Amino acid sequence: MSTPKLRAELDGIPVYKPGRPPVAAEGVPAYKLSSNENPYPPLPGVMEAVTAAMGAFNRYPDLACSQLTAELAERFDVPAGHVATGTGSVGVAQQLVQATAGTGDEVVYAWRSFEAYPIITRIGGARPVQVPLNAAEAHDLDAMADAITARTRLVFVCNPNNPTGTVVRRAALERFLDRVPADVLVVLDEAYREFSTDPDVPDGIDLYRDRPNVAVLRTFSKAYGLAGLRVGFAIAHEPVADALRKTAVPFGVSQVGQDAAVASLRAEPALLERVAGLVVERSRVVEALAAQGWTVPETQANFVWLRLGDRTEAFAAACERAGATVRPFPGEGVRITIGETEANDLLLRAAEKFRKELPSDLL
Ligand SMILES: *Cc1c(COP(=O)(O)O)cnc(C)c1O
């Protein structure tokens, strides 16, 4: 029996692997440190906005996300026509690939970086060009610039980088942008921007203003705590933003999501307080892991990366038994989200125990 013809490009595309939820076992806590989510309850005003919007979900949402777009434009001091919303920033990233790259074109990004990049590149029929991270687990921008060819249509720069937490700083990024041809779109994926406390890490929105080939991706999923509602956006010059409006799934962002995002934007003081709390916890976790003897790359995000190689899965299993689920990348390392204080304490105890039980020749 014959089956429907599917595009050959889909063969072998990896399926996106979400961070696993914790396994609940009798008497053991179950913390999820595997998806870089915000551990806190919704910001003030968000539940009220969501509850109100819920009463009208027999209606389609505002297709243009007008109110959210207007508030984002004001917040970032950009024209409303430069704001394009979508179903999470992954959705917007996929639209950017769709808008720029087709069969035979190339999309350049660092590796390891966000695992959605190879998937959305290949769905579009384009060829992924993966440029290895440097020894400090950070983007090698010179090598990335060297990897650009006449077929390159888009370059992702993930800043801070998921899953390593490392950043690219202003001078290096500006030098890189100066090298990229004007007809290649550079997408600065700033999903973790709110957690970055280093003043030398540039705000992509400053860089995009006089660079028509730069687009900035932001999300409400991480610091703002709306991962389940799927709201992200890009800030880009008119031609790119217009292309995003053309490639958007109609009505992709629910009214609940739009209203929750608006309420979250208006709760900035509470947001900053929570982010500051997580940043304090990040420092504590990084210092404690280093004191235990682990090599921890500098992180400006809400997670830390341990390059564990062959010990990755054993470490993840040990954390899971202790009650914290982390995100293993088998053979490479684990990404550990900074969670609530108790979760971080538990993680640190599990890491210490794992280290003590390791044969010393494996350290
Ligand atoms: C989490 C994440 C996103 C955004 O996810 P959405 O929930 O789709 O907004 C985008 N980029 C990176 C690097 C991420 O880690």
298-331 pLDDT per residue, tens: 999 999 999 999 999 999 999 999 999 999 999 9
Nearest CA to ligand 1 atom 4: 89
Which amino acid, 142? Answer: D
Residues in contact with ligand 1 by the CB-under-6-Å rule are 36, 88-90, 114, 158, 162, 189, 191, 219, 221-222, 227, 232
362 falls in which pLDDT band (50, 70, 90)? low
pLDDT tens track for 331-345:
999 999 999 999 999
Q: What is the mean pLDDT of residues 31-37?
A: 96
Backbone angles phi, psi at 243, to 5 degrees: -60, -35
- Please give the pLDDT value at position 356: 93
- Please give the pLDDT value at position 129: 98
Task: Please provide the average confidence, as pLDDT, over all residues in the chain.
Answer: 96
136 contacts 161 by C-beta, under 8 angstroms: no
Q: What is the mean pLDDT of residues 248-270?
A: 97
Percent of the chain with pLDDT over 90: 91
102 alpha carbon – ligand 1 mean position (Å)? 23
Range list of H helices, 37-87: 46-54, 66-76
- Please give the pLDDT value at position 195: 98
- Please give the pLDDT value at position 363: 55
Backbone angles phi, psi at 138, to 5 degrees: -115, 165
